[in-house]
């Protein structure tokens, strides 16, 4: 007899701010995992989130890492703290799922992946929207030849920026964020999953306003500095031959987001919003007067799906899909885009990753893996 370990995988959430609500709500419903501890530099936040989501322990990040049942850390801290928190978790022998971006710079990202490999633990990274029904259906359609050979992509993300709704938006205008680093991972990860690795990028960047004003919450009205470009227009060329044009802007009053179109030799495919797990596909062939709508098939369970895929992969001994290597490549693209906006030159992209296998349409994080 070979007993199979089906006990829920012990998880600690470090960073109990805004996005922890989505994670804690979902992780509590996924039977393959059990959140055992909430931690934050701000102990009151950890305590409040533990109480709100029925998590049995709360404390400091060190307390969470010392918890004997914790096998995996979900790092939901601000981007500037990602490297430090992930490094500490790896050193404590824990697997890590990190919110995006993986780190602020490429060297720190590489260090984390080497440290994880040496320690025999895994790193996974958001966005796990690439596992959602919408993007998985797009992947299956393209793999089945539904648009012919994929040639190009056009992505648009524009709006006034998150200072209006986020109660603590400063980090979103600091290194590691701006529209490129905050939302670029969604768009660049979709293209990475559909096209594979990029070879080089070029870009233009602008920072029209040096400060912004918080629009909601207890600190509404406070002014803060903008440290990064809030308009970035980029070109990317992929190793498999495709080209992409991407726009990331927080300088427009006109909101347009979730726009990802892939054009192939036979048709253009409008992919659902890469910041969502669901959404229909729309296809337009030469001669069509309108789009053909194709419903997405598969799970759209939300943030935390990547944690479940990772836990199942650890148990099965196979690769997890939203991997640290994929996130490192996306990070390298963003840092190269940032450099190109300053240099005016194409910048090379050198990291590589294994393109993740599509998910089975039956994949379901709500049902325990047997």
Region binding ligand NAD by CB under 6 A among candidate stretches 65-73, 74-82, 116-124, 324-332 = 74-82
Q: For residue 129, give the nearest of 273, 294, 227 by alpha carbon.
A: 273
Q: Does 40 bind ligand NAD (CB under 6 A)?
A: yes
DSSP per position, 123-155: EEES-GGGGSHHHHHHHHHHHTTBTBSEEEEEE
Task: Return the number of the residue (76 or 359) whose C-beta is nearest ligand NAD.
Answer: 76
| Distance from C-alpha of 334 to C-alpha of 337, rounded to nearest angstrom | 5
Strand-pairing partners, residue 155, are: 246, 260
Region binding ligand NAD by CB under 6 A among candidate stretches 70-78, 209-217, 246-254, 305-313 = 70-78
Task: Return the number of the residue (81 or 308) whose C-beta is nearest ligand NAD.
Answer: 81
Strand-pairing partners, residue 350, are: none
- Residue 344 CB: number of other CB atoms within 10 A? 9
Region binding ligand NAD by CB under 6 A among candidate stretches 40-48, 195-203, 221-229, 311-319 = 40-48
Count of residues binding ligand NAD (CB under 6 A)? 24
Region binding ligand NAD by CB under 6 A among candidate stretches 80-88, 199-207, 252-260, 308-316 = 80-88
| Distance from C-alpha of 235 to C-alpha of 346, rounded to nearest angstrom | 9
Task: Return the number of the residue (14 or 262) whose C-beta is nearest ligand NAD.
Answer: 14
Task: Return the number of the residue (78 or 199) whose C-beta is nearest ligand NAD.
Answer: 78
CB of 23 to ligand NAD, least distance (A): 9
DSSP H stretches of helix in the chain: 20-27, 43-53, 61-66, 79-91, 106-119, 133-143, 178-195, 305-316, 324-343
Task: Return the number of the residue (217 or 295) whose C-beta is nearest ligand NAD.
Answer: 217
Residue 299: exposure state from Cβ atoms within 10 A (0-12, 13-18, ≥19): buried
Region binding ligand NAD by CB under 6 A among candidate stretches 1-9, 41-49, 198-206, 251-259 = 41-49
Phi (first) and psi of residue 221, to 5 degrees: 100, -20
Task: Return the number of the residue (230 or 268) whose C-beta is nearest ligand NAD.
Answer: 230
Task: Return the number of the residue (47 or 284) whose C-beta is nearest ligand NAD.
Answer: 47
| Distance from C-alpha of 302 to C-alpha of 26, rounded to nearest angstrom | 7
Region binding ligand NAD by CB under 6 A among candidate stretches 72-80, 138-146, 187-195, 282-290 = 72-80
| Distance from C-alpha of 268 to C-alpha of 172, rounded to nearest angstrom | 33
| Distance from C-alpha of 97 to C-alpha of 121, rounded to nearest angstrom | 11
What separation in angstroms does the CA of 135 have from each of 176, 186, 191?
25, 11, 10
Of the residues 11, 34, 50, 81, which one makes contact with ligand NAD according to CB under 6 A:
81
Region binding ligand NAD by CB under 6 A among candidate stretches 75-83, 144-152, 198-206, 250-258 = 75-83
CB of 317 to ligand NAD, least distance (A): 29
Binding mask 4-23 for ligand NAD (x = CB under 6 A): ----------xxxxxxx---
Binding mask 88-117 for ligand NAD (x = CB under 6 A): -----------xx-----------------
* Of residues 164-193, those binding ligand NAD (CB under 6 A): 168, 171, 182
Torsion of Cα atoms, 338 then 77 then 97 then 72, to 10°: 160
Are the C-beta atoms of residues 268 and 141 closer than 8 Å to each other? no
Q: Does 41 bind ligand NAD (CB under 6 A)?
A: yes
Q: Does 76 bind ligand NAD (CB under 6 A)?
A: yes
CB of 297 to ligand NAD, least distance (A): 24
The 3-state DSSP class for residue 224 equals strand
Interface positions with ligand NAD (CB under 6 A): 14-20, 40-42, 45, 61, 76-79, 81, 84-85, 99-100, 168, 171, 182
């Amino acid at each position: 007899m070979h007993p199979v370990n089906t006990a829920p995988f012990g998880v600690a959430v470090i960073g109990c701010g805004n996005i922890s609500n989505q994670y804690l709500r979902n992780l509590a419903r996924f039977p393959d995992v059990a959140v055992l501890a909430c931690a934050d530099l701000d102990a009151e936040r950890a305590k409040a989130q533990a109480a709100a989501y029925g998590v049995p322990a709360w404390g400091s990040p060190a307390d969470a890492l010392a918890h004997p049942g914790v096998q995996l850390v979900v790092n939901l801290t601000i981007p500037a703290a990602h490297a430090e928190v992930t490094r500490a978790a790896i050193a404590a022998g824990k697997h890590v799922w990190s919110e995006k971006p993986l780190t602020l710079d490429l060297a720190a990202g590489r260090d984390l992946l080497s440290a994880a490999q040496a320690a025999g633990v895994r790193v996974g990274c958001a966005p796990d929207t690439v596992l959602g029904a919408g993007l998985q259906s797009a992947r299956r359609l393209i793999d089945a030849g539904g648009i012919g050979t994929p040639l190009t992509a056009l992505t648009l993300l524009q709006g006034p920026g998150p200072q209006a709704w986020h109660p603590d938006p400063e980090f979103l205008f600091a290194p590691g964020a701006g529209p490129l680093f905050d939302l670029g991972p969604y768009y660049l990860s979709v293209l990475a999953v559909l096209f594979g690795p990029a070879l080089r990028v070029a870009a233009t960047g602008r920072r029209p306003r040096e400060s912004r004003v918080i629009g909601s919450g207890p600190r509404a009205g406070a002014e803060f500095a903008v440290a990064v470009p809030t308009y970035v227009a980029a070109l990317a060329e992929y190793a498999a031959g495709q080209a992409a044009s991407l726009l990331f802007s927080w300088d427009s009053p006109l909101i347009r987001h979730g726009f990802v179109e892939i054009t192939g030799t036979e048709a253009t495919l409008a992919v659902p919003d890469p910041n969502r797990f669901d959404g229909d596909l729309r296809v337009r062939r030469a001669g069509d007067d309108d789009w053909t709508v194709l419903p997405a098939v598969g799970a759209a369970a939300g943030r935390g799906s990547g944690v479940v895929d990772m836990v199942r992969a650890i148990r099965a001994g196979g690769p997890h899909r939203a991997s640290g290597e994929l996130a490192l490549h996306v990070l390298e693209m963003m840092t190269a885009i940032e450099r190109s906006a300053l240099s005016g030159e194409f910048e090379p992209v050198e990291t590589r990753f294994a393109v993740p296998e599509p998910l089975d349409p039956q994949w379901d994080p709500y049902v325990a893996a047997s």
